[in-house]
Structure 1
Amino acid sequence: MMRYAAVFGWFTAAYFLSYFFRSANAIIAPDLSRELSLNAADLGLMTSVFFGAFALAQIPLGLGLDRWGPRWITSGLLFVGAVGSVIFAFAPSFELLMIGRALLGLGMAGALMGAMKIFSKWFHVNQFATLSGLTVGIGSSGALVAASPLAWFNEAFGWRWVFVGGAVITVFIGAAIIIWTRNTPPGVPWTGSTDTGGGVQEVVRDRRFWHIVPLDFFYRRHNVCFSKPVGGAIPVRCDATGCRSGGQYADCAEPRRNLRRTDLWLACRPGGHDAGNDCKRYIVY
């Protein structure tokens, strides 16, 4: 039982870090602007680099997870993220900030998909959506830590030491994944895939994939009408609430017949929009 808890706990912690790092720039932006003379365009570009690296990594990430497993891929990427955090922490220029931020995006790219992959190996299919929903819900609270708590640490120690501390924690979680988790449960051998892209083509040709893409593309469109503090806090709290209940419902749903019913039900739940996007992926795939 402890091994199952370790798998869930350490991969959820990795996703928590991913959410923290992606949200941290909003709090430290005034300090970056003052210390390195950055304007709004610089800050926006630097923030977008994280998401650009994160997105570009996803297809090779999937191939790597299938071949070598989440234990090695997720932990290895976390170490890359730790290097990025250190570079960001000590960067004397905008260019090095960009490099650090890009490495952070790359390093956090494997957190969620690594968790999904290892859950599919360790847990029963009827538990998959519930555990995935819990991971997204708990991990999303990393954005809350990147709000007031980060502001307190930033005021007390400065933004550079915040990212040094983040690098240390990232290395610790990456090492914990290597030491205390395995790609498969005891007695089950790991059989890595040698697919070089055929699986990607199969997914792209599946019409169900194109039903989900628009939901993710417009995932945060409902934030635009709120102030920054409210726009950040509401969806995170919704994630934490809706993903848990949405995952439980998705595990109970009969995939083909209940996909639309799940969507309607989630729309009436707290956090339903956020949970719906995630849980429909689990039902379909």
Structure 2
Amino acid sequence: MPAAKRRALVIWATAAAVYLIAVFHRTSLGVAGLQAAERFAIGAAALGTFTVLQIGVYAAMQIPTGLLVDRFGPRRVLSAAAVLMGLGQLLFAVATTYPLALVARGVLGFGDALTFVSVLRLVAAYYPQRRYATLAGVTAALGAVGNLAATLPLTLLLDNAGWTATFAVAGAATAGYALVVALRVRDTPDGEPAHRSEAVGAREVFDQVRQAWRIAGTRLGFWVHFSTMFAPAVLGLLWGFPYLVQAQGMSEAAAGSVLSLLVVVGLVTGPIIGELTGRRPALRVPMVAAYLGTAMALWAVLLGWPGGVVPAPLVVVAFSVLSVGGPLSAIAFALARDYNPIRRVGTATGVVNVGGFSAITITALGIGLLLGGDAADADAGAFRVAFLAIVAMLLLGSWRTAVWWRRARAAVFEAVRRGEVVPVRIRRRVWDIPALPTAEARPEPASA
């Protein structure tokens, strides 16, 4: 392997490890939720607030993160992320009161928010555009390893080492990894310019975001991310474990194993989806559309099953299929990469990333409010009503994805008509928009 490729691989792997760690911390409440409810003496709504706060901070920080990465470079941002996540988890380990625990999860969410956009910015700098989707898929799959570690292995650690020791060791190791990032990661290949944004003032920053948002490919990416990743994430982060134990009557070990499917399937399918969509980018949104239709059918079965207690094999199949939404969400970042210049890729990626995490925040809060009372007392009927929040968000996301898919396609056709180079060549269909009323979504070459 040439030295340049080997160096690029080492830098990407070092950065991707931060994202793996971030996903571990983010999903750690998935199996620790019931222990957290007992430790802090809280009900379902308060328990849901942990996830709402953490993911809400994550979502709110995505655009600022993109701006920070474009301005200061991913190495500095990733180093800060590791320190913040470590401090947040250390605080969570020793917290004995609900307010302090909320502060800890907020700090953790802040650090988590800085990771994924930074890694993808490095991918954009070190790898050609045709490899971007593949590396984004592999990065997401590595994140799934962190999720996997936060299922059955974390359950065993909590049972044997206890709450404080488990989370304290995880926090200290994460903070220490910041030194590895600072020493090993470099923002761009040797001899290449940094491609950093010059936006400093409020007006320049706003203009940077506005330019990213006005691109139809960015908007389409936002809604693709919104629609595909939120349901498996909500199940894995918090509500899947109580649902399987309280509503479906599974043992905690069995529930942890089912939740691990959300990760294992994503781990296997992520690189496959990335490679396929990298080679045939015209398949990206049709694959998303097929998934959304299948997800709607699965939720109709799960929530409409007589009595609410679904046969275990059907639950396993449903969770496995729903888990594909995680890897498919990486398509959103490829869309942002394709239709934005490299100096604005971080900002556009941050805008896109807001989509899924906004959906997670709203859905997790909605489920907690609809459940009410104590999560340990919720039965199949209660979860059937509460999970209607997932169906509502899925319908909203599917509708907006369809709208912006047509608009993005129209923007490509307009660009071709003007004689411009477009990232993906597509064929006009009968359902396409004849022409855009404005030039609101003119794609820009990603290499600009």
Query: Normalising by structure 1, what TM-score?
Result: 0.88
Aligned to 1:155: 159
Code of the aligned partner of 1:221: A
Give the unaligned 5+ runs of structure 1: none
CA distance in 2, matches of 1:54, 1:20: 15
Percent identity (aligned): 21
* 1:249–1:262 CA contact under 8 A, matched in 2: no
Aligned residues: 283
The answer as to 2:217 corresponding to 1:208 is yes
For 1:242-253, what aligned pairs fall within 5 Å after superposition? 242-253=269-280
Aligned to 2:328: 276
Aligned CA distance change for structure 1 residues 6 and 62 (closer, same or farther; 3 Å): same
CA distance in 2, matches of 1:264, 1:244: 19
Aligned to 1:227: 244
CA distance in 2, matches of 1:40, 1:154: 21
Match among 43, 47, 66 for residue 43 of structure 1: 47
Q: 1:120: how far off?
A: 0.8
For 1:3-14, what aligned pairs fall within 5 Å after superposition? 3-14=7-18
Aligned CA distance change for structure 1 residues 94 and 272 (closer, same or farther; 3 Å): closer
Q: 1:177: how far off?
A: 1.0
- Describe the superposition over 1:184-216 as per-residue Cα deviations: whole angstroms up to 9, x where unpaired: 112223242122221210122222333233332
The answer as to 2:147 corresponding to 1:143 is yes
**Cα RMSD over matched residues?**
2.6
CA distance in 2, matches of 1:170, 1:16: 11
Q: 1:9: how far off?
A: 1.4
CA distance in 2, matches of 1:232, 1:211: 29
Q: 3-state DSSP class of the match of 2:329?
A: helix
* 2:141–2:268 CA contact under 8 A, matched in 1: yes
The answer as to 2:45 corresponding to 1:28 is no
Match among 266, 271, 288 for residue 239 of structure 1: 266
* Structure number with bigger Rg: 2
Q: 3-state DSSP class of the match of 1:237?
A: helix
Code of the aligned partner of 2:172: V
Code of the aligned partner of 1:98: L
Q: 1:76: how far off?
A: 0.7
Code of the aligned partner of 1:206: I
Q: 1:264: how far off?
A: 6.7
* 1:183–1:190 CA contact under 8 A, matched in 2: yes
* 2:221–2:335 CA contact under 8 A, matched in 1: no
* 2:90–2:172 CA contact under 8 A, matched in 1: no
CA distance in 2, matches of 1:104, 1:272: 26
Give the unaligned 5+ runs of structure 2: 200-204, 246-254, 295-320, 338-448
Aligned to 1:183: 187
* 2:27–2:150 CA contact under 8 A, matched in 1: yes
CA distance in 2, matches of 1:124, 1:6: 16
Q: 1:243: how far off?
A: 1.4
